């Protein structure tokens, strides 16, 4: 078992010790409670006599999680993380926080790490089982287990800074990092409502778009800024925003490499990964978080922005509330809002993008559009709020993105096909899948040859695997004859026979081993949001600038995705820093 280093804890958990209960997690097949239960053996030894290391295992986000707990005279002194299948970007951030809480309390009855509630549950339950294995009295752990502390409302002294960034995801951290790189003397504060940073970026399992990159140059791919401007002319962005976005795209590869992020694999025009099997999201956020701390950004997790502070007609900072029920204002010369989208807010989806609220989301569950109503109440511009991005297939219940470029068969719980594969997309696809009792995606080994995402997921055991269709059907719990008939019809279509459901496969499903996984469609990105100009300045409904407020990322209207969030985060941070310098020089 490999222990996560305390050095990593120091880098990624500094300032993360506040807790915000109830955020994070997703639908999961994990039980809502774990042993030890009320039937667990009571303590049979004197706690002071217990020293040494004991192992405990419990259900977590996906399958079991194991820890080794070290006791000294009955006191928990260390917890080592062992085998687990939790999302690496979550557990690498959450484990140091939950470990510290448990060691400090000498008990697993502590608050969960917001943004990692399933993982927190697994660790706490596994520690309780290790206590039982040591002969100690072990508490019953349920999904709702917390420290049980009710914090009285408290008003703290206000804080002051040069720039406050609301949100610690890709856009927010990009803004903070570039602001400090532009002027290291600036006091920059980032507030993040979760206990861990990274936003959706840390979970991203899609391509990261770069242009003019080292990988493209080495692959002989020529693509210029003029090409970018031509290709994005009809994106819905203003020409001025497309111009600065494109210029920023062509500098981002070098910027990422300077912080240790090397995206050396390019798949088609602009699409980049760390390597053929590793998507960029987690690596980008790991290095960006590390750099933010190194630059001296004041990062305050467990601290939610709730409203803007106003000084006359200018935004003068943000009012915040911590998970300990503490309230105060952060007064700033410039404010950058980067709080993400609202894919996890069913009410806002029903209001602004009706129909999409029926789908699950691939996002972290904190993407609830916290500032949408603040924008609306203050007369700020909201653009294209009905525009959505739906990811065709995510694993159920893990919610990991999975691929659909390969040949695959879709069947329901009866093993029967119900639609032509690749004939539907977006909300139409999502609602069709919801009409089924369950939806299985079935592939063969040929599907792994060109897709790193599938190779990784099958290697980690997320997919069922069998040498024959009959064996696979047994694992899936569907009739073997029905599944075989579905695949036979699909293969006939691949060989030129017209498919009754309209699919046009390019290859057969016939090379063992075979794989299957339950899938669903998901709301992946809300495209609409706060209107901003090419300087990333927020706008009122009439197009005038909101003084001293900037916006970046999914909280704004943007036609792109992850890389555009990073680009406009950089633009916002740089412009805010430069504006402060100009105002200081003019004073």
Q: Cβ atoms within 10 A of the Cβ of 426, count?
A: 15
pLDDT of residue 580: 99
pLDDT in tens, 136-155: 999 999 988 898 899 999 99
Does residue 185 share a domain with residue 73?
no
Does residue 53 share a domain with residue 40?
yes
Does residue 511 share a domain with residue 416?
yes
Range of the domain at 318: 155-387+527-586
How distant, in Å, are the alpha carbons of 366, 411, 480 from that of 443? Answer: 33, 11, 15
pLDDT in tens, 282-325: 999 999 999 999 999 999 999 999 999 999 999 999 999 999 99
Does residue 371 share a domain with residue 230?
yes
Q: What is the number of residues in the chain?
A: 587
Does residue 492 share a domain with residue 355?
no
217 is a domain residue: yes
pLDDT in tens, 321-330: 999 999 999 9
Does residue 379 share a domain with residue 401?
no
Does residue 326 share a domain with residue 301?
yes
**How far is the C-alpha of 358 from the C-alpha of 103, rounded, in Å?**
41
374 is a domain residue: yes
71 is a domain residue: yes
Q: pTM of the prediction?
A: 0.89
Q: What is the CATH number of the domain that holds 272?
A: 3.50.50.60
Q: Cβ atoms within 10 A of the Cβ of 206, count?
A: 18
Does residue 19 share a domain with residue 113?
yes
150 is a domain residue: no
483 is a domain residue: yes
149 is a domain residue: no
**How far is the C-alpha of 585 from the C-alpha of 578, rounded, in Å?**
11
Does residue 324 share a domain with residue 186?
yes
- Of 523, 538, 572, the one marking the end of a domain is 523
- Of 110, 142, 174, the one marking the end of a domain is 142
Q: What is the CATH number of the domain that holds 508?
A: 3.90.700.10
Query: Residue 320 in contact with residue 305, Cβ under 8 Å?
Result: yes
Convert 538-564 into a string of H (helix), E (strand) and C (coil).
EEECCCCEEEEEEECHHHECCCCCHHH
Residue 32 — very low, low, confident or very high, per pLDDT cuts 50/70/90? very low
148 is a domain residue: no
Q: What is the CATH number of the domain that holds 107?
A: 3.90.1010
pLDDT in tens, 181-219: 999 999 999 999 999 999 888 877 677 899 999 999 999
**Average pLDDT for residues 32-44, to the nearest whole number?**
43
Chain CA centroid to CA 450, Å: 25
Does residue 396 share a domain with residue 370?
no
Does residue 417 share a domain with residue 360?
no
Residue 43 — very low, low, confident or very high, per pLDDT cuts 50/70/90? low
Helix (H) or strand (E) holding 69: strand 64-72
Domain count, the chain: 3
- Of 78, 110, 142, the one marking the end of a domain is 142
Does residue 400 share a domain with residue 335?
no
1 is a domain residue: no
Structure tokens at 372: 């949408």
- Assess whether pLDDT exceeds 60 at residue 332: yes
Query: Residue 558 in contact with residue 568, Cβ under 8 Å?
Result: yes
Percent of the chain with pLDDT over 90: 80
């Amino acid at each position: 078992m490999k222990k996560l280093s305390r050095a990593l804890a120091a880098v990624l958990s500094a300032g993360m010790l506040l807790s915000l209960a109830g955020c994070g997690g997703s639908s999961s097949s994990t039980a809502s409670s774990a042993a030890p239960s009320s039937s667990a053996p009571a303590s049979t030894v004197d706690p002071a006599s217990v020293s040494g290391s004991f192992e405990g295992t419990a259900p977590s986000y996906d399958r079991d999680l194991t820890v080794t707990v070290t006791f000294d005279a009955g006191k928990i002194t260390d917890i080592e993380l062992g085998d687990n299948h939790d999302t690496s970007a979550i557990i690498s951030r959450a484990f140091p926080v939950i470990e510290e809480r448990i060691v400090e309390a000498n008990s697993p009855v502590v608050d969960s790490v917001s943004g990692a509630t399933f993982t927190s549950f697994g660790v706490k339950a596994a520690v309780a089982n290790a206590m039982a294995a040591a002969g100690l009295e072990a508490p019953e752990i349920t999904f709702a287990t917390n420290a049980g502390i009710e914090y009285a409302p408290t008003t703290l002294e206000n804080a002051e800074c040069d720039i406050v960034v609301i949100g610690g995801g890709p856009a927010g951290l990009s803004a903070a990092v570039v602001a400090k790189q532009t002027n290291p003397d600036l006091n920059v504060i980032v507030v993040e409502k979760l206990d861990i940073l990274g936003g959706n970026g840390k979970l991203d399992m899609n391509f990261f778009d770069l242009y003019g990159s080292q990988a493209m140059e080495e692959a002989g791919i020529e693509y210029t800024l003029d090409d970018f401007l031509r290709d994005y002319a009809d994106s819905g962005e203003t020409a001025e925003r497309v111009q600065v976005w494109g210029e920023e795209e062509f500098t981002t590869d070098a910027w990422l490499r300077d912080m240790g992020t090397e995206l050396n694999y390019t798949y088609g025009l602009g699409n980049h990964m760390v390597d053929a099997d590793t998507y960029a999201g987690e690596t980008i956020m790991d290095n960006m978080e590390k750099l933010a701390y190194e630059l001296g950004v004041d990062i305050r997790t467990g601290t939610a922005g709730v409203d803007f502070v106003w000084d006359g007609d200018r935004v003068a900072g943000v009012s915040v509330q911590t998970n300990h029920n503490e309230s105060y204002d952060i007064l700033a010369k410039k404010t950058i809002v980067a709080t993400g989208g609202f894919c996890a807010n069913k009410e806002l989806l029903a209001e602004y993008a009706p129909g999409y609220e029926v789908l699950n989301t691939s996002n972290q569950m904190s993407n609830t559009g916290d500032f949408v109503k603040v924008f609306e109440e203050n007369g700020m511009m909201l653009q294209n709020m009905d525009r959505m991005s739906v990811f065709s297939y995510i694993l159920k219940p893990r919610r990991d993105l999975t691929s659909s470029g390969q040949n695959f068969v879709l069947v329901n719980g009866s093993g029967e096909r119900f639609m032509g594969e690749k004939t539907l997309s977006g909300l139409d696809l999502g609602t069709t899948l919801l009409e089924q009792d369950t939806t299985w995606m079935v592939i063969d080994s040929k599907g792994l040859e060109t897709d790193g995402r599938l190779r990784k997921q099958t290697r980690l055991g997320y997919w069922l695997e069998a040498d024959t269709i009959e064996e696979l059907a047994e694992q899936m719990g569907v009739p073997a004859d029905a599944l075989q008939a579905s695949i036979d019809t699909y293969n006939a279509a691949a060989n030129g026979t017209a498919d009754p459901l309209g699919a046009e496969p390019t290859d057969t499903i016939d090379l063992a081993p075979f794989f299957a996984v339950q899938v669903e469609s998901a709301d992946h990105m809300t495209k609409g949001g706060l209107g901003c100009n090419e300087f990333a300045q927020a706008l009122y409904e009439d197009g005038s600038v909101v003084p001293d407020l900037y916006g970046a990322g999914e909280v704004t209207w943007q036609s792109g995705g992850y890389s555009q969030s990073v680009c406009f985060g950089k633009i916002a941070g740089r412009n805010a820093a430069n504006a402060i310098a100009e105002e200081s020089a003019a004073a």
